Structure 1
Amino acid sequence: MAVFVGALLLFLFPLAYSPGPGNMFFAAMGARSGVAATLPANAGYHAATLVVTGLVGAGFVAVLDPASTLFLLLKTSGSIYVLWLAWKMATSGRTNAGGEDRGAGFLDGVMLLVLNPKAYVIILLMYSQFAGFAFASTAERVAVISLVFTLNNLLAFLLWTLAGDGLGRMFRNETSARRLNLFFAFMLAGVALWMLLG
């Protein structure tokens, strides 16, 4: 089991810790509102990750064919949602870790995962690469993969959120905060285009 988990973590490391929709979203929210304000969205994202990963692994959710209309619809919807988040950030005022900005909610996190077609591709790739390891049952394999994948993503997102929060603390006055918001808004817009065109 330890060898399996180690191999899975090595496989997931570049996927989980490199910039992507989730990491950029949580870094931006951390910079804007502080770590505490991102916790509901983080809980939503990772609850959805655990459920979707488990359902895909158990065969209840078919992974979409990238050439299908449904995949294109999901990709377009996800890109529009991330662009909307970028617009909200670009048009907002100064950052605020003091609590008056409620940050992102549980549903924002759920939507970020559910509308990200690349998440489904990664989940399918993960299962295809690690299907050969011996487990007592399919349920055990799905449970281990889903849990390791979710917890690893959670750690990555928390690190990106902390980095964003640290950056945001250096930009608490109105002018510099506005620039930081615009920087992260452009980053999110770039992620949205990457999701759409990738």
Structure 2
Amino acid sequence: MTLMTILLFVPACFALNMAPGPNNLLSMANAKRYGIRVACLAGIGRLVAFVVMITLAATGLATVLYTSEKLFLAIKVAGGLYLLWLAFQLWTADSTDGGNESLAGKSLFQLSRQEFFLAAGNPKAILIFTAFLPQFVDPTGSVGLQFLILGVLFLMLEWVAIAGYAFFGKGLRHWFSRPSMRCLFNRICAGLLGSAGVGLLLARRE
């Protein structure tokens, strides 16, 4: 792996990390309700899911998973239904809760688990690690070491994305200080997550 490969990988990877997907939307919503610190710590669940996927990609198992129609369909359905469940929870969330950064009955583990399942149930994430990362791997070199380097860079950039969306979500608190506005924000997020869930259930594998 050359320096030029890394210089090409970082901006392309960061664009993927910053894309407004379901996980980033969840970080933004968590930060608005619980604060930046909680949203960033909850994002560890997402990173754990990605570590598993990177490991699978490095060992070649992710390709088997992606080419297996039944397994891929199961992940897609589970991911879509989980998105719809999160959308329902946001839609019915108590808008009178002013977001005082207390977990309000939810543990940090539960929030991290949400991030984990949301990332693990997204077939597009599997596609990233089976089609995107290998493009930057030189088969004549140490494949395991290259996957390790690319994986660490990916996770670092993903952490920046988590923090970025968390700061943005925290900034929205001022604009949604009234219960009616908080309800609007929750339902907008719920609508986006629900749309992503329906889109995931209807999408065909390319």
The TM-score with structure 2 as length reference comes to 0.85
Hey, what does 1:98 align to over in structure 2? 101
**Deviation (angstroms), 1:74:** 0.6
Please report the RMSD computed on the Cα atoms of aligned residues, expressed in angstroms.
2.1
Q: Unpaired segments of 5 or more residues in structure 1?
A: none
Deviations 1:112-140 (A, max 9, x none): 121111100011112331123764x2221
Runs of at least 4 residues off by over 6 Å: none
% identical aligned pairs: 24
From 169, 175, 180, give the equivalent of 1:175.
Answer: 180
**Deviation (angstroms), 1:81:** 0.5
Hey, what does 2:74 align to over in structure 1? 73
Task: Select between 182-191 and 52-61 the one with higher mean Cα deviation.
Answer: 52-61
Which one-letter code corresponds to 1:197 in the other structure? L
Deviations 1:139-163 (A, max 9, x none): 2111111111111112112211211
Distance 1:93 1:161, change over 3 A: same
Deviations 1:169-191 (A, max 9, x none): 32122111111111111111122
From 155, 162, 171, give the equivalent of 1:157.
Answer: 162
Task: Select between 120-129 and 96-105 the one with higher mean Cα deviation.
Answer: 96-105
Q: Unpaired segments of 5 or more residues in structure 2?
A: none
Kept in 1: contact 2:28–2:168 (CA 8 A): yes
Distance 1:97 1:35, change over 3 A: farther
Q: Is 2:114 the counterpart of 1:113?
A: no
Equivalent-residue separation in structure 2 for 1:54 and 1:32 (angstroms): 33
Hey, what does 1:189 align to over in structure 2? 194
Aligned residues: 197
Deviations 1:34-81 (A, max 9, x none): 212223420111122123212211224444346702211111110111
Equivalent-residue separation in structure 2 for 1:178 and 1:172 (angstroms): 10
Equivalent-residue separation in structure 2 for 1:100 and 1:142 (angstroms): 36
Hey, what does 1:3 align to over in structure 2? 4
Equivalent-residue separation in structure 1 for 2:140 and 2:170 (angstroms): 42
**Deviation (angstroms), 1:100:** 4.2
